[in-house]
Amino acid sequence: MCRNHSLKTFREGFNKYSILIVLSIIILYALFFVPHFASRINLMAIMFQYSIIAFLALGQMLVVLTGGIDLSQGSLVALTSIIAAVAMSHFGLVPALLLAVIGCTLLGITSGTLVAYTKMPPFIITLGMLGIGRGLAKFIANAKPVPIQDPFFRSLGRKVIFGIPLSVILLLIVCVVLVWFLRNRRLGRYIYAVGSNEESARLSGINTKKVKLFAYSMSALLTSIGGLVWAARLGSGSPIGGANYEMESIAAVIVGGGSLSGGKGSVTGTIAGVLLFGVINSILNLSGISPFWQGAIKGVFILLAVAASQIHSKKNVSMERWAENE
């Protein structure tokens, strides 16, 4: 019995910290063997770029926890930037930011409603929303980039406080709030319950439809924040911006310990997944590897990570059954 308990404790500890161990090893490799990796310019570039992906990944994590997926995030980044850029020239800074966030969130609410109240797969619904978001962005902007004239908003994209980008500080605040919410609020625990076993959650009295609606709405809200950070950093809105960002956010969640089957995932693991891809991307760039090969290398890495996660999950189930029989 003691042996089974020790084995289970070790397995749980390894599962919890494996992504952090891998991240630490890769960072140590980069520090010692990759020239200029530790330079201030390179580290700031990683923080600026991947803080944007992190907002999307946190929203994606909430959706994945329910057993769903959100493919619309990249197009919502573009739509948010376009709404903000166009509205800023007509209504001013604050109304423009509110319009951008509300517009993006409304599309998330639409996706969540369709997922919760119809039998259509989330993949199909959010794929359709990807097209809608991208189409709206191109229509509003007439398929052209829209420069942002407000100097204060543009300065926020490169604002640094005590050596830390403002976007990273905002991200840390969001992370703290999400960790508290998932651990201490009933709705946060319901999200895990729905993803683990939706039917059991429903029979226990949980309104699974509202939980799903909330997850997709929050995904869009967090994506809109990432879109605003992206627009401030770029200094304009772009109807083709955010391309493939949803793929990076999904990959970060899965590599960080999430499961597309639902019920598994954490804020810490997701952020570690984002950092892992940021560090790998930086290593590839600094090593002079062709951009054409970089996508292929990252794709192979994602496949290996997902395969390892699936194999590990099956092993866990087998070992639990073995422990029960013992």
User: What's the confidence (pLDDT) of residue 82?
Assistant: 97
Task: Tell me whether residue 146 is in a domain.
Answer: yes
Confidence of residue 318 (pLDDT cuts 50, 70, 90): very low
Residue 312 confidence (pLDDT)? 56
The highest-confidence range among 226-240, 256-270, 279-293, by mean pLDDT, is 226-240
Q: What is the pLDDT of residue 297?
A: 80
Is residue 71 domain-resident?
Answer: yes
Task: Flag whether 326 is in a domain.
Answer: no
For residues 185-209, average pLDDT: 94
Structurally, the chain folds into a number of domains equal to 1
The pTM of this model reads: 0.90
Residue 256 lies in a domain: yes
- Residue-wise pLDDT tens digits, 285-295: 998 888 878 77
State residue 306's pLDDT score: 66
Q: How confident is the model at residue 313 (pLDDT cuts 50, 70, 90)?
A: low
Residue 162 binned pLDDT confidence (cut-offs 50, 70, 90):
confident
Report yes or no on 202 lying in a domain: yes
**Would you say the C-alpha torsion 303, 304, 305, 311 has a positive or negative sign?**
positive
CATH of the domain at 231: 1.10.3470
State the pLDDT at residue 287: 87
In a domain, 26, yes or no: no
The range of the structural domain enclosing residue 105 comes to 38-316
Q: What is the pLDDT of residue 130?
A: 96
Residue 8 counted as domain residue: no
Question: Quick one: pLDDT at residue 320?
Answer: 44
Q: Give a yes or no: residue 145 inside a domain.
A: yes
Q: How confident is the model at residue 16 (pLDDT cuts 50, 70, 90)?
A: low
Give the 3-state secondary structure of the chain.
Answer: CHHHHHHHHHHHHHHHHHHHHHHHHHHHHHHHHCCCCCCHHHHHHHHHHHHHHHHHHHHHHHHHHCCCCCCCHHHHHHHHHHHHHHHHHHHCHHHHHHHHHHHHHHHHHHHHHHHHHCCCCHHHHHHHHHHHHHHHHHHHHCCCCEECCCHHHHHHCCCEECCEEHHHHHHHHHHHHHHHHHHHCHHHHHHHHHHHCHHHHHHCCCCHHHHHHHHHHHHHHHHHHHHHHHHHHHCEECCCCCCCHHHHHHHHHHHCCCCCCCCCCCHHHHHHHHHHHHHHHHHHHHCCCCHHHHHHHHHHHHHHHHHHHHHHHHHHHHHHHHHHHC
**For 39-78, how does the pLDDT look when each residue is reduced to its tens digit (9 = 90+)?**
999 999 999 989 999 999 999 999 999 999 999 999 999 9
